[in-house]
Structure 1
Amino acid sequence: MAGTPAEAERLAAFKRMRRIATGLLVLMAGVFFAARSLEPFHPGWGYLRAFAEAGMVGGLADWFAVTALFRHPLGLPIPHTAIIPRNKDRIGETLAAFLRDNFLIPAVVARRLSRIDVAGAAGRFLTHPSSGEGRMRRGASRLIGDVVEALDQERLGGMVKSALRGQLEKIDVGPMLGQMLGAMIDSKRHLPLISAGIRWAALTLDDNEHLIRAMVHEKSNSILRWTGLDETLANAIVGGLQKLLIDMDGDPDHALRARVEEGLARLAHDLCHDPEMAERVARMKAELLANPAVSDWIGGLWEQGRKALLAAARDPDAAMAGRLGEALSQFGHTLQDDPLLKRQINRFARRAITGTTSAYGDNIVRLVSDTVRGWEARTITDRVETAVGRDLQYIRINGTLVGGLVGVAIHLVDGLV
């Protein structure tokens, strides 16, 4: 099992140490048989035989102990072997309990977080996105992009659009429009709009002058037509309207402009305080939201937002550029330089994470135990053996060498006695 480069490296190191340990055991066996055959010729070969013999015993004993952790030695169903695969559920529960009792305690989490400057890290992250923390940003961005792409777009889009429509339905449009219009009137920002409306009316009159003349001609009797007075009347109407619009445009104190302003002020008041007007505006809002074009517009907003989020996640450097990047960078400087804001954010982060640990700690450890329980026995055996197998092979090597030294010591004492 070598799913990642790190796992592949650990697996290769484990196999290399296992070959060394097994090779040392085979070497001890060869030395034993050679020394045993040469022992009659010189007493010194007896010490070498004792070293190799005890080394074989120690190496075989440790091989059996290490192998028994993961499988049955030589495939024989010896009792109390294959310990890890037989007890994987209990191992998962024990590991989960260890995490819960030693790491996911609110007091432990709070004490650990008290030494972490969350606001400072966020400030450095926003101020220098291309530094070492940029790797974290790019990793987080890829994760966000993968999550957004993996979500059910139909269901998620429907939820977002329903939420957006629900918020629009909750808005009391009448008072909001009334307050906006009242604020415009108070600050005189409505005057350019009135002037623009007058100019639009003048241009519309010029473009549709022929319609007024045709209407006067149709409404006039035969005498007016015969004498040509209909044309004179039409000219008078058109000229009077043009002069009226020109005077309104040039005179800020024109009486009709004042009437228009009075009408706007009354409209602003009615929008805020007249129940009948509020009901009328609410009905217009409901009809507008029921229009299919508005549904298409809301759907377009969601799709544009999703594409923008994906683009920002896939290219965080571009997302951090421009005005948004400047604003985020400035906020990063503020996070680093403002001690009060930094203290408040760190306190909020500690409370949020500690609260999450307290509320969901059991679910987290249950995830660990359920995951281990769901693994096949072969999977957990391979994972544990790959993780610690290299160190366990050192036990075999040490057992072989230490056993050999003990064998020499016993042989020496036996010779002296």
Structure 2
Amino acid sequence: MNPVLPSPGLRAPVTRMRMLATGLLVAMAALFALARALDHVHPAWGFVRAFAEAAMVGGLADWFAVTALFRHPLGVPVPHTAIIPRNKDRIGDSLAVFLRTNFLVPSIVVRRMARLDVAAAIGRVLAAPPREGPRRASKLAVTLLESLGDERLGALFKSAAAQRLRALNIAPLAGQVLSAALAEGRHRPVVNGAILWVGQALAANEALFRQMIHDRAGSVLRWTGLDETLSSKILDGIFKLLGDMAEDPNHSLRTKIEEGLILFAERLQHDAELQAKVAAWRDAALANPAVAAWLDGLWQSARATMLRTARDPHAVGGGRLGEALRQFGTTLQEDARVRFAVNRFARRAIGGLVATYGDQIVTLVSDTIRRWDSATVTDRLENAVGRDLQYIRINGTLVGGLVGLLIHTVDLFA
């Protein structure tokens, strides 16, 4: 993966500064040679010589120090040079630890977010999005989604989803949903469907049931043919029972079924043993490869949707969705209660994310830097901070010259 670092377009200014620093060093060397040749002509040339000599020493020392950060000076593998490429992985680990210690701490994040009015900022953007905002946001979103890596982001998504599902106590929630459905009568279509399905299954397999009764009947019944009569009576009775249940919503057997469902809903909410069994079923289902494949498909679908939306920023800003977003932005700016709720949710959400996934984010940073190519990282880092580094060379040359001039003056007049 290529690092997301400053553009190579910064190379030209850095090259100019490097040429200026090197040219100044060469000029000091030429001035030293000239002053050395004319030293006998006039005592003033001694001052010039001292300045140029010390300037060369200072410039060379700073050139060596600056170069040693990124490569071996003149290609010679001097110890403790090429510091950045040799220690790229350690720098990545140190950066990750620095982020975890100083930024990805829930208390620090929540405290800093308390000073931010996130809701108002979001409201201003949604109510009156800047002209270039959608395009820039779209480009940034696409870059992030494509550069961070599908595999790692997908693993984070699936891990978070599975963790949330494991933390969810399904049994009481299912019991509450079932109780609400029973209270509102929403279970009746399900019971009707079950009765209809049983009737259809029995009709479709009538020959099988008759054969089962025939096989289990005694020899006397089979010899007299009463087994056929018995099977017809049994099947007719079952069909009649199912018909009565389908037609009569107050049928006694339907009442028994409803009583059983009510009892089951109560057990789901209050029976610890049943809740433990449901939790075990939940964990077994999450460990099933089919569920992992389903989560992967869910992530791929969500990622594809995000990419499609990000590549078409005007689709978000137009139509009913765009109008709804603008209205929500206005509400965020004008309604203090909504703004307070959104800010509180943002603080809690970000704090929870940091607490839960801080270590994984740190690992993502460290592993990403480890995958970067050393030469590319070195080149782009040098281009990013190169201007300041070349100023160090220039300052070292001039300061060294002034120090040499001062020493020569003190030595001359002491």
Normalised by the length of structure 1, the TM-score is 0.59
Taking the aligned partners of 2:365 and 2:305, their CA distance within structure 1 comes to: 35
Identity %: 55
Q: Which amino acid aligns with 1:330?
A: Q
* Cα distance change, pair 395–115 in 1 and its aligned pair in 2 (3 A): same
For 1:416, give the aligned amino acid: F
The 3 A distance-change label for structure 1 pair 369 and 314 is: closer
What is aligned with 2:413? 416
Alpha-carbon deviations, 1:358-377, whole Å to 9, x = none?
11111111222222222333
The 3 A distance-change label for structure 1 pair 47 and 346 is same
What is the deviation of 1:311?
6.7
Measured after TM superposition, the shift of residue 49 of structure 1 is 0.9
Superposed CA deviations along residues 141-160 of structure 1, whole A, max 9, x for unmatched, are: 7569979xx89xxxxxxxxx
Paired AA for residue 21 in structure 2: A
What SS does the corresponding residue of 2:7 show, helix, strand or coil?
A: helix
Instruction: Give the alignment partner of residue 319 of structure 2, picking from 307, 322, 336.
Output: 322
Contact 2:14 2:383 in 1 (8 A): yes
Query: What one-letter code is carried by the residue in structure 2 that aligns with 1:415?
Result: L
- Tell me: CA distance 1:375–1:271, structure 2 relative to 1, closer, same or farther (3 Å): farther
Q: Is the 2:139–2:311 contact (alpha carbons within 8 Å) kept by the matching residues of 1?
A: no
Name the CA shift for 1:129/1:370 in 2 (closer, same or farther; >3 Å).
same
Deviates more, 1:75-84 or 1:403-412: 75-84
SS in 1 for 2:40: helix
String of CA shifts for 1:25-75, please: whole Å, max 9, x gaps.
000000010111111111111111111111001111111111111111111
Contact 2:3 2:377 in 1 (8 A): no
Report the CA distance shift for 1:113/1:22 in structure 2 as closer, same or farther (over 3 A): same
| C-alpha separation in 1, matches of 2:48 and 2:24 | 15
The equivalent residue for 1:333 is: 330
Is contact 2:62-2:396 (8 Å) kept? yes
Kept after mapping to 1: 8 A contact 2:117/2:343 = yes
Q: CA deviation at 1:10?
A: 2.2
Q: Distance in 2 between matches of 1:322 and 1:68?
A: 58
Code of the residue aligned with 2:53 in structure 1: it is: E
The 5 Å alignment of 1:9-408 reads: 9-131=9-131, 133-135=133-135, 137-139=137-139, 176=186, 270=249, 275=254, 313-408=310-405
- Provide the rounded CA distance (Å) in 2 between the counterparts of 1:141 and 1:271: 58
Please give the TM-score of this superposition, normalised by the length of structure 2. 0.59
User: What is residue 160 of structure 1 aligned with on the other side?
Assistant: none
Higher deviation after alignment, 104-113 or 365-374 = 365-374
Query: Following TM superposition, by how much is the alpha carbon of 1:130 offset from its aligned partner in structure 2, in angstroms?
Result: 4.4
What are the ranges of 5 or more consecutive residues in structure 1 without an aligned counterpart? 152-169, 180-265, 280-303
**Alpha carbons of 1:51 and 1:351: their partners in 2 closer, same or farther (altered >3 Å)?**
same
| Cα offset, 1:114, TM superposition | 1.2
Shift in Å, 1:136: 5.2
Task: Compute the displacement of 1:344 (Å).
Answer: 1.0
1:323 and 1:413, CA in 2 relative to 1: closer, same or farther beyond 3 A? closer
**C-alpha contact 2:6 2:384 (8 A) present in aligned 1:** no
What secondary structure, in the 3-state scheme, does the structure 2 residue paired with 1:40 have? Answer: coil
- Of 85-94 and 118-127, deviating more is 118-127
**Cα distance, 1:269 vs structure 2:** 8.2
CA-atom RMSD, angstroms?
Answer: 4.1
Q: Report if aligned partners of 1:145, 1:313 keep a CA contact under 8 Å in 2.
A: no
Q: Which residue of 1 aligns with 2:196?
A: none
Q: 1:273 & 1:120 partners in 2: Cα distance? A: 60
Q: How many residues are treated as equivalent by the alignment?
A: 289
TM-aligned CA distance change 1:138 to 1:378, over 3 Å: closer
C-alpha change, 1:374 and 1:35, in structure 2 (3 Å) is same
* Alignment check: 8 A CA contact 1:106 1:355 kept: yes
Q: Aligned in 2, Cα 1:37/1:271: closer, same or farther, shift over 3 Å?
A: farther
Alpha carbons 2:25, 2:56 under 8 Å: kept: yes
CA, structure 1 residues 320+380, in 2 after alignment: closer, same or farther (shift >3 Å)? Answer: closer
Map Cα deviations across residues 319-347 of structure 1 (whole Å, 9 max, x no partner).
Answer: 43333333332222222221111111110
Please give the alpha-carbon distance, in whole angstroms, between the structure 1 residues aligned to 2:352 and 2:331: 27
Contact 1:127 1:330 in 2 (8 A): yes
CA distance in 2, matches of 1:94, 1:308: 36
Deviation for aligned residue 1:21: 0.7
* Matched letter for residue 101 of structure 2: D
